[in-house]
Structure formats: structure tokens, C-alpha cells
Amino acid sequence: MSLLSFTAQPLHLTPLPGISLRIRARDLFWLGFFSALLLAVLVWSAASGSYSLSMAQSWQALVSPETEPKRIVRVLWEFRLPRILAAVLCGAALAIAGVMLQSITRNALASPGLIGVEAGASVTLLICVILLPGLIPVFWLPVGAMAGGFAVAGLIWLLSSARGYSPVRLILVGVGITSMLGAFSEMLITYGDIELVESALMWLGGSLHQVSWEQVQVMTAWLVLAGIPAWLGFRQLNLLRLGDKVALSRGVDNRKVIPWLLLLSVALTSAAVATAGTLTFVGLMAPHMARRFCGDRHGVLIPLAGLMGALLVLLGDTLGRTLLAPLQLPAGLVIVLVGAPYFIVLMSRAR
């Protein structure tokens, strides 16, 4: 038997009682490969910066900090590691949310920004910073942004499902509300106080330079609470991709399942946006990159897309703080500059 035919052989796993997952050896290889690649990039990112370290020093300080000089441990654990972990967690959350939205809407161009979470969070932050400065303490601004994202996503769902749910209606209402909020954001940026606007623009660009360990812990909790249930719904997502009638014939009622899946997607996106700002393009591109290796089988697609999203944001943030050091570019800007051309080539090849 050839290696290619062996890696295509299906394996049956039972990760949790009552849950059966059909996976190929090839899928396990790609999951292991991109996990190892993410770990390597993490160590490289920890070693990169104005105070440069070798890869060996970085790894040693990560696994056994008590053996390294205090200055190296402090640079790594107090300044770089929270930022690195936040990039990994936010990228994974946005990628998983993107997979779910593309499956729910059956639209390959759907992304977390489609349901208004990013626009709602951005407008909420701009209102708090520009129109009502000092109303909310700086520490609670991410919470306010998350609340704004949930509110706008809820409004879009209510408007799109008033006469029965339709993926097309959800997309059209989402585009309309997002465009309106985008215009309002532009007005605030144009006519607001320049000093207040500057303090908000860095966050809007997807910057991770002020992330703390507390935010990493909150983001980890959200990824666990919403990411694991999202993965457990892989069977429903597989069936929804085939259409409502096929899903209903197999016992999946979209009127009950889709609101729950949308809520999980909104939770993941809101937490990521509140932590790192608007990282546009990650939730759109990472699922397409993962599909090239595993297809549309969501049991594998969701974790693989999460790894892709984590790699994208971590690479974007690392390049942003090292390419033009000491000038730091927001991770969201780097991801768009590097990722957009790749995505165009990818789509042209896939037609």
C-alpha cells in the first residue's frame, strides 16, 4: 500500500462519549504539522524584538525560566508572552467564527464582520473614547466593546429572521447595518478631537501592544467556553452546508441550531475584537486556507482553521513589531497587506 493511499484511510475516533469522529491519517498529519509550525513561530516571536534573543534562549526561558537571567525572563514573560498568546487566541477565535459563518450562510465570502460584531465593537469604543471620554474606565473599554458587538449582532439577527431565517437576508441585513455603522465611525474619526482619535485608531487597526495577562486569561476562557461547543457542533455544520432540507431530513432543525451557532460565533468574535481590535480578514482567509488541506469536514476543519488563524495573527504581529522597529505596525494592517494578495491568488486558482 502506498503512503498516499494509507494517509487517505479513514480512522474512527471517539474524543468524547457519544461523539464519533471520522478522520483520515492525512488530517492528523496536517494537524500535527501546523501545531508544530505554530510552536516554532511562537518561539521565534518570543526571541524577536528590540532586545533580541536566540531561539535557544527563548525556548529555555519559556520552559525553565528559573535557570535564565532575570532580565530575559522579565522581557519574555511580562512583555512578549502576553502579546504572543493573545495573538494566538484571537486568531484562533476569529478563524473558528469564520468557519461557522461560512457554513451557516453557505457563502464562501462570509466573515465575522458580516454579522456586525466588529462594527458594533468599533462604534462603541469610538463613542466611549471620543464622544464620552472618561465615562468608562480604560480597563472596562474592552467589555464595552464586547457589549456593543453583541448588541449589533442581535439587532441584525432580529431584522433578518423577522419573516423567517434566510442566509441571503442575513447577509444583506449584515452588510447594510455594517455599512451604516462604518459611516458613523468615519464621522467620529473625522470630526472628533485629534488626540482622542489617535488613542482609538491604534486599537481599531488591530494592535496587541497593550495586552495584559488578565486579558489573555479572559480570552482563554471565552475560547474554551465558545470554541469547544462550536467544535462539538461539527455534525450540524456539515449538514447545514448541504441545505436546510437535507439537514432537516437528518434531524437538524435550522430554526433551533442556527441561533445557537450564531451566538457562539458572536461570542468568539466579540472576545477577539475586545482584546485585539478589528483584525479584518483573518476570519475570511483562515477557513479557506484550512480547506485546502482537509475539505469541508468540520470535525477537522474547525481545529485546523483555528491553527491557521493563530499563525496569521502571530506572524502579522511579529512582523509588525520587528520589520520597522522601533516603529510598530498594527497586526491587522500587516495581515491585510500580506494576506490580501495571497487570498486573491488562492481564489483565482480555485476559481
| pLDDT per position as a tens digit, 292-302 | 898 888 889 99
Distances (CA, A) of 112 to 73, 298, 351: 36, 17, 23
What is the identity of the amino acid at 96?
I
> Which letter does DSSP use for residue 113 in this model?
G
Q: Find the angle CA(156)-CA(158)-CA(288) to the nearest 5 degrees.
A: 45
3-state class (DSSP) for residue 68: coil
Helix, strand, coil shares, percent, the chain, to 5: 75, 5, 20
Q: Residue 191 pLDDT > 90, yes or no?
A: no
pLDDT band, residue 12 (cuts 50/70/90)? low
Q: Look at residue 3 in the predicted model and tell me its pLDDT.
A: 43
C-alpha–C-alpha distance, residues 83 and 174, integer Å = 31
| pLDDT per position as a tens digit, 222-247 | 899 999 999 988 888 877 776 666 66
Q: Look at residue 79 in the predicted model and tell me its pLDDT.
A: 84
C-alpha–C-alpha distance, residues 150 and 58, integer Å = 39
Question: Which run of H or of E encompasses 10?
Answer: strand 10-16
pTM for the full predicted model: 0.86
pLDDT band, residue 106 (cuts 50/70/90)? confident
Q: Look at residue 37 in the predicted model and tell me its pLDDT.
A: 95
What the block records as the C-alpha cell of 26 is 492525512
| Torsional class of 266: left (φ above 0), alpha (ψ -120 to 50), beta (otherwise) | alpha
Q: Look at residue 8 in the predicted model and tell me its pLDDT.
A: 53
Alpha helices, DSSP H, located in the chain = 3-7, 25-47, 55-63, 70-74, 81-105, 117-126, 141-160, 167-191, 194-204, 213-232, 234-240, 244-249, 254-276, 282-294, 298-322, 331-350
Domain ranges of the chain: 81-350
**Distance spanning both ends of the chain, measured CA to CA:** 33
The residue assigned the cell 488530517 is 27
| pLDDT per position as a tens digit, 130-170 | 887 777 776 676 777 778 888 888 888 888 877 777 778 88
> Which letter does DSSP use for residue 17 in this model?
T
Q: Residue 9 pLDDT > 70, yes or no?
A: no
What the block records as the C-alpha cell of 219 is 480570552
Pick from 350, 233, 317: which is nearest to 338 by CA? 317
Asked whether the beta carbons of 35 and 308 are under 8 A apart, the reply is no
CATH architecture of 81-350: Orthogonal Bundle (1.10)
Pick from 14, 5, 98: which is nearest to 310 by CA? 98
The residue assigned the cell 514573560 is 77
Asked whether the beta carbons of 170 and 107 are under 8 A apart, the reply is no
Output 221 or 18, whichever has higher pLDDT.
221
C-alpha–C-alpha distance, residues 60 and 41, integer Å = 15
| pLDDT per position as a tens digit, 71-84 | 888 888 888 899 99
Pick from 226, 232, 218, 247: which is nearest to 104 by CA? 247
C-alpha–C-alpha distance, residues 51 and 166, integer Å = 53
Query: Pairing mode, if any, of strands 19-24 and 10-16?
Result: antiparallel
Q: Look at residue 312 in the predicted model and tell me its pLDDT.
A: 92
Distances (CA, A) of 76 to 49, 82, 215: 10, 9, 17
